Amino acid sequence: MYIGKKLAATAALIGAAVVGGVVAAGPATAAPLDVQGIHLTAGHNVGLYNDYNKVDNQDKAPVPDLLYSNNPNVPTDGIGADCWSDRGQAVIPGQPYWYHVVYEYYNHNGVKLQRYAWAYAPYVDNAYAKSINLVPYCNY
């Protein structure tokens, strides 16, 4: 009887894990990344870069720049960041803070892209998400 209950519970668990034809990750894989959405609030358009130490047009990620808008009728773009680093180029002296980007939200035209890149935190939100520990330190 115990085996039947355990089997039924396992079947129920597997059935609950299947959502929309996609099986949820099992215990062998880690939990999904904790990605925080951050809107551009610092008054800058923001480029995304492949390397936080080479901030030039040759090293820009092959995605459009994110657009800041102070017009209430035009939504501001944003990023999904999983961590921040202080090991990149300080575009503003004394501020070497970069967000590791997992998603870009082009809210002005309703597009979301997934691209791993770096965004300069002071230009995104004055490094506010970093300063309040909304995203963890990358350690790289």
Q: Which two tokens stand for residue 95?
A: 């501020």
Q: How is the chain split into domains, by residue range?
A: 29-131
Output phi, psi for 58, to 5 deg: -70, -25
Q: Work out the average pLDDT over 33-62.
A: 93
76-105 as b/e: b if 16+ CB within 10 A: bbbbbbbbbbeebeeeeeebbbbbbbbbbb
- Cα–Cα distance, 94 to 55 (Å, whole number): 16
HSE-up (13 A, CA, CB side) for residue 111: 10
DSSP label at residue 38 = E
Which segments of 18-56 does DSSP mark as H helices, in order? none
**Mean residue pLDDT across the chain:** 81
Tell me the residue type at 12.
Answer: A
pLDDT for the residue 34: 81
- Cα–Cα distance, 40 to 28 (Å, whole number): 36
pLDDT for the residue 122: 98
pLDDT confidence band for 71 (50 / 70 / 90): very high
Share of the chain above pLDDT 70, in %: 76
With a threshold of 0.85, does the pTM exceed it?
A: no
Q: Which two tokens stand for residue 100?
A: 């590791």
